[in-house]
Structure 1
Amino acid sequence: MDERALLDRSNGPVTRSRLVRELSALGLRPGDTVMFHTALSALGYVPGGPLTVIAALREVLGEKGTLLVYSGWNDAPPSDFTDWPAPWQEAVRAEHPAYDPELSEGTHDNGRLPEALRRLPGALRTRHPDSFAALGARVEALVLDVPWDDPYGARGPLGRLVDAGGRVLLLGAPLDTLTILHHAEALAQAPGKRHLSYEVPVLDADGSRLWQRYWDIDTEDEAFDYGQVVPEGVWPFTVIAQEALAAGIGVRGRVGAAESHLFEAAELVRFGVEWIERNITA
């Protein structure tokens, strides 16, 4: 989409000062700890792109605020490489570069903002390759010493976000991008929960390369059989979030040209856990 089309969509440039005003009107506050997801083009024409959005968020949050994003690892070995023919596996094991929190590129699936944030001075990224990055006052509390197993559980960055009284912001991003609901899946006690085991090359404390195995809920497909309650082709997080909004959890507003949402992380997770446990029965 060209710049003029974006400008028409947002009725002029979505500048840093405009973002600050509209983020504040949505309910973002100084000192907040916020995980955010952004569809940049949905905002309209943003002069300066990702860095302008991040600067506006930091201005609203102030020195005591913190930003959290899901980063991932774009070049991680596929989870099923252990099913490949032995020579192919051996070649990968011998030469696949290790995940490096400072250098390894984040996933391309979540747009440009997470990668822009993790590259900024002062940002920290988890040493766990299913990675999160943070910037601000609470970075260490959010991303240091994440356990290898169950990274979406209570001791992972999402559990810590909840414990910190954190919030979740969608800037034009659809409801199905609510990564925080993977934390609800990790906590929910419902039948048929699916887990996957991964092997990845990582850097040891001394900088040497080694292969590390970890397990987690299945975030590649689905952690539960949602087909029993969600229509085919509909992502379950969309349904959960829509029902949460209908129940008065979260607020909607417009930032730039985009419909945006702001949730209290603890409230949304609690709703998600209850929804899963109520609906997933077999």
Structure 2
Amino acid sequence: MKTPQKAISQLISQKEILEQLKEIGVSAGMILEVHASLSAFGYVCGGAQTVVNALIEAVGYSGTLLMALQCSDNTEPSAWENPPIERHLIKTVREQMPAFNKKETDTRAMGAVVENLRRRDGIVISHHPNCAYVAWGKYAKLLCNHQSLHFPLSEESPAARLYELKGSVLLMGVDYQRCTALHLAEYRSEIRPVILRGAAVELEGKRMWKKYLDLDIDSEIFNKVGKRLEEKGFVKKGKVGMADLKLFKADAAIDEAVRYFVKDHPYARYLQPSLF
């Protein structure tokens, strides 16, 4: 016999989401990188479709939405941790992993909101095999038209274009660790070592395993950067249902992160001229 589930006692509508977005400063024409957890809201009538509808209505057709579309299965298997893979299977993964496809490749742990945006008419997806972005709106092509295979979150990335265009970041029910734009600060501060990665790609109609260079990026420190942003008054806060909303300028956040990494992060000691 199934255990009866608790009845839904609160409902979040598109109108309520839109009102709260406007309350914290989301407006027409804004360029917005969004990271959202649908489950953090509580019950949303219409689910991810409602959240995306509210975001589109908030920024309007003169605005732009940008979301990370990371395909973590299509990565170097020897570096897998959650879960790891047995050594004898690594070669098989490199040989058999399907090439990245903008429409078909699965994402992992990116959430229902980005997947809903991915299905919308008129979206643009950058072509990186595991660090792609999806964008909708006026500047979608500009944000996603060129993302380099090597160092994919650096100066030839949608994050760098977001910085140049004075865009903003909106966190909906997630913390600062989910803020992909902050990875740009890791590249600019040069605190991370260079590593070799790999992914399955399609080149000239053929599937192949392609190696590329990147930094050993790590988002665990981003919450400390976020705390500093809040202390300095850079973050506007709100709430929809149970989900906390945080809105801030991308360029201010990235600049603050660079200052933190260079001056206060433990890796900073490796950057001191006296060590060379």
- Length-normalised TM-score, structure 2: 0.86
Aligned to 1:251: 236
Report deviation, 1:246. Answer: 0.2
Q: Say if 1:184 and 1:269, in contact at 8 Å, map to a contact too.
A: yes
Secondary structure (helix, strand or coil) at the match of 2:115 reads: helix
CA distance in 2, matches of 1:207, 1:24: 46
Picking from 197, 215, 218, the partner of 2:213 is 215
Report deviation, 1:266. Answer: 0.3
Aligned to 2:273: none
CA distance in 2, matches of 1:79, 1:141: 32
Secondary structure (helix, strand or coil) at the match of 2:127 reads: coil
CA distance in 1, matches of 2:226, 2:237: 12
1:278 aligns with 2:231: no
Report deviation, 1:258. Answer: 2.0
List structure 1 runs of 4+ shifted beyond 6 angstroms: 81-84
How many residues are aligned here? 258
Residue range with higher mean Cα deviation, 172-181 or 235-244: 172-181
Secondary structure (helix, strand or coil) at the match of 1:254 reads: strand
Report deviation, 1:81. Answer: 6.8
Inter-CA distance 168–3: structure 2 relative to 1 (3 Å threshold):
farther
1:120 aligns with 2:105: no
CA distance in 2, matches of 1:3, 1:202: 46
CA distance in 2, matches of 1:19, 1:137: 22
Secondary structure (helix, strand or coil) at the match of 2:223 reads: helix
Q: Deviations over 1:18-76 (max 9, x none)?
A: 11111101110101111111121222211010010000000011111111111111431
CA distance in 2, matches of 1:35, 1:47: 23
- Runs of 5+ in structure 2 lacking a partner? 270-276
Q: Say if 2:77 and 2:94, in contact at 8 Å, map to a contact too.
A: no
Aligned to 2:251: 266
Q: Deviations over 1:237-278 (max 9, x none)?
A: 111101111011121112233221001000000000011111
CA RMSD of aligned residues (A): 2.2
Q: Say if 1:199 and 1:211, in contact at 8 Å, map to a contact too.
A: yes
Secondary structure (helix, strand or coil) at the match of 1:173 reads: coil
Aligned to 1:230: none
CA distance in 1, matches of 2:112, 2:213: 28
- Runs of 5+ in structure 1 lacking a partner? 224-234
CA distance in 2, matches of 1:260, 1:70: 18
Q: Say if 2:166 and 2:251, in contact at 8 Å, map to a contact too.
A: yes
Report deviation, 1:89. Answer: 4.6
Aligned to 2:44: 46
Q: Say if 1:175 and 1:241, in contact at 8 Å, map to a contact too.
A: yes
Picking from 53, 56, 74, the partner of 1:55 is 53
CA distance in 2, matches of 1:251, 1:114: 22
Report deviation, 1:149. Answer: 1.1
Q: Deviations over 1:113-152 (max 9, x none)?
A: 1122112222221111121111111111111221111111
Aligned to 2:95: 94
Q: Say if 2:76 and 2:199, in contact at 8 Å, map to a contact too.
A: no
Secondary structure (helix, strand or coil) at the match of 1:50 reads: helix
Q: Say if 1:35 and 1:169, in contact at 8 Å, map to a contact too.
A: yes
Q: Say if 2:34 and 2:65, in contact at 8 Å, map to a contact too.
A: yes
Fraction of identical pairs, as percent: 27
Matches within 5 A, 1:9-28: 12-28=10-26
CA distance in 2, matches of 1:38, 1:92: 30
Q: Say if 1:167 and 1:262, in contact at 8 Å, map to a contact too.
A: yes
Aligned to 2:144: 143
- Length-normalised TM-score, structure 1: 0.84
Residue range with higher mean Cα deviation, 113-122 or 260-269: 113-122
Q: Which amino acid aligns with 1:196?
A: I
CA distance in 1, matches of 2:34, 2:159: 12
1:71 aligns with 2:69: yes
Q: Say if 2:159 and 2:181, in contact at 8 Å, map to a contact too.
A: yes
